[in-house]
């Protein structure tokens, strides 16, 4: 039996308690300072307030002040914070970790540097490690998987990525189950960028949902326009993936993750409201209190493209959908640049 300590009791981290516990391992779930009510309720009857599911009876729960106790004797540490908790994790958790105990993260996103370079959270955390912790192996999880369906044991296929394939193999044996399927990759940038970008483009695709409802009322669905934006999104994501230094084959992870994100959740809500005609500030007012990682990644990616374009390393005109999203977040009205998509397709050389 191995001991897996989860730092952060968000929905995805908590859903991952199921395969690990069912494989016979000890699950220790630690809440962040924002998770007190979640941990209190879990201690009562294993019910997760946000996941809306009961976790397996036998999981152990800890408030943030009990983190040291939860980390004692751990074989693996799982980072379950959102992108808004990345710095908190770097400051409050990384210094406590045993370099001999590998870490794996479910946090999706990236950070853009002053020069436009995009780096993964894995690389960011490595840069923050104290000298005595430099040997800590930081791995990550990417791929199309929603927390609700994972908790319900729906078949899910993801990729665990990291620098050492042997470490990944060991982690895989602890997490893999008949319904949680895991492939392995040492292309950390490729995997992480692919799944980070989907948040920005899920917002873009769901604009079509709002545009349909604006024309025909709530509940109206036009799949042609959604599919067109999905296709353009995959094109731009592929270019961004290569620009960031990742293997383009990882676009399958980004496209799959984009697919599941379009069908529900907070990103769909904001995209739909914007498509209906609400300005960004108005839409955010309706979603007050909701954390939106799609807004963060959209702004960061657009900013990276602008800076890389200024350096002559790319052309911002190759990303019309992304740049339109950036304009919308700055208050512009939704006006999908369909003609620009056509022009970019027509400008490709004909190899027939």
pLDDT in tens, 268-294: 999 999 999 999 999 999 888 677 888
User: Which backbone phi and psi does 305 adopt, to 5 degrees?
Assistant: -65, -45
Record the tokens describing residue 191, joined without a space.
Answer: 């995997």
Burial grade of 217 (CB within 10 A; 0-12, 13-18, 19 or more): exposed
Q: 3-state class of 79 per DSSP?
A: strand
User: Which backbone phi and psi does 54 adopt, to 5 degrees?
Assistant: -85, 130
Beta bridge partners of 44: none
* Alpha-carbon separation of residue 33 from 37, 38, 65, 74, 257 (angstroms): 10, 11, 9, 21, 29
The pLDDT score that the predictor gives to residue 327 is 97
pLDDT in tens, 207-222: 999 999 999 998 888 8
pTM, whole model, 2 decimals? Answer: 0.91
Query: Is the Cβ–Cβ distance between 223 and 192 less than 8 Å?
Result: no
Task: Give the C-alpha separation, 177 to 167, whole Å.
Answer: 18
Q: CA nearest 144: which of 86, 93, 183?
A: 183
Q: Which residue has the tokens 């990616």?
A: 301
Task: Give the C-alpha separation, 189 to 161, whole Å.
Answer: 9
Query: Is the Cβ–Cβ distance between 82 and 10 less than 8 Å?
Result: yes
pLDDT in tens, 183-193: 999 999 999 99
| 143 CA to centre of own chain | 9
Query: Is the Cβ–Cβ distance between 225 and 212 less than 8 Å?
Result: yes
Q: How many CB atoms lie within 10 A of CB 111?
A: 18
User: Which backbone phi and psi does 290 adopt, to 5 degrees?
Assistant: -95, 130
Q: List, in order of start, the domains of the chain with CATH numbers.
A: 3-186 (3.40.50.720), 196-346 (1.10.1040.10)
pLDDT in tens, 247-259: 989 999 999 999 9
Render the burial of 338-348: b for 16+ CB within 10 Å, e for the rest: eebbeebeeee
Longest dimension (CA), the chain: 66
Task: Give the C-alpha separation, 84 to 199, whole Å.
Answer: 14
Q: What is the DSSP letter of 54?
A: E
Query: Is the Cβ–Cβ distance between 27 and 21 less than 8 Å?
Result: yes
Task: Give the C-alpha separation, 230 to 255, whole Å.
Answer: 9
Each residue's pLDDT tens digit in the chain (352 positions)? 999 999 999 999 999 999 999 999 999 999 999 999 999 999 999 999 999 999 999 999 999 999 999 999 999 999 999 989 999 999 999 999 999 999 999 999 999 899 999 999 999 999 999 888 999 999 999 999 999 999 999 999 999 999 999 999 999 999 999 999 999 999 999 999 999 999 999 999 999 999 999 999 988 888 999 999 999 999 999 999 999 999 989 999 999 999 999 987 788 999 999 999 999 999 999 888 677 888 999 999 999 999 999 999 999 999 999 999 999 999 999 999 999 999 887 766 554 3
């Amino acid at each position: 039996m191995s001991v897996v300590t989860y730092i952060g009791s968000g929905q995805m981290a908590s859903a991952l308690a199921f395969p690990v516990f069912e494989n016979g391992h000890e699950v220790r779930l630690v809440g962040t300072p924002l998770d007190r009510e979640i941990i209190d309720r879990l201690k009562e009857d294993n019910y997760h307030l946000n996941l809306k599911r009961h976790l397996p009876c036998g999981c152990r729960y800890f408030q943030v002040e009990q983190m040291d106790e939860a980390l004692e004797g751990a074989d693996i540490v799982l980072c379950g914070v959102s992108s808004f908790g990345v710095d908190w994790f770097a400051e409050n958790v990384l210094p406590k970790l045993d370099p001999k105990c590998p870490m794996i993260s479910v946090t999706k996103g990236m950070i853009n540097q002053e020069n436009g370079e995009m780096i993964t959270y894995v690389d960011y955390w490595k840069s923050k490690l104290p000298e005595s912790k430099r040997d800590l192996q930081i791995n990550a999880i990417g791929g199309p998987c929603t927390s609700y369906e994972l908790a319900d044991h729906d078949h899910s296929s993801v990729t665990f990525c990291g620098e050492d394939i042997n470490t990944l193999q060991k982690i895989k044996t602890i997490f893999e189950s008949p319904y949680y399927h895991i492939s392995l990759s040492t292309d950390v940038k490729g995997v992480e960028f692919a799944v980070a970008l989907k948040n920005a483009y899920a917002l873009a695709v769901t604009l079509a949902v709002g545009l349909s409802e604006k024309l025909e009322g709530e509940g109206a669905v036009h799949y042609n326009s959604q599919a067109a934006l999905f296709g353009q999104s995959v094109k731009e994501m592929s270019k961004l993936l290569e620009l960031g230094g990742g293997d383009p084959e990882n676009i399958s992870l980004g496209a799959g993750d984009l697919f599941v994100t379009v069908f529900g959740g907070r990103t769909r809500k904001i995209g739909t409201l914007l498509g209906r005609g609400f300005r960004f500030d108005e839409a955010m007012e309706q979603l007050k209190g909701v954390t939106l990682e799609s807004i963060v990644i959209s702004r960061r990616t657009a900013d990276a493209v602008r800076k890389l374009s200024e350096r002559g390393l790319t052309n911002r005109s190759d990303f019309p959908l992304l740049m339109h999203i950036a304009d919308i977040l700055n208050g512009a009205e939704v006006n999908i640049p369909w003609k620009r998509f056509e022009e970019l397709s027509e400008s490709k050389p004909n190899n027939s």
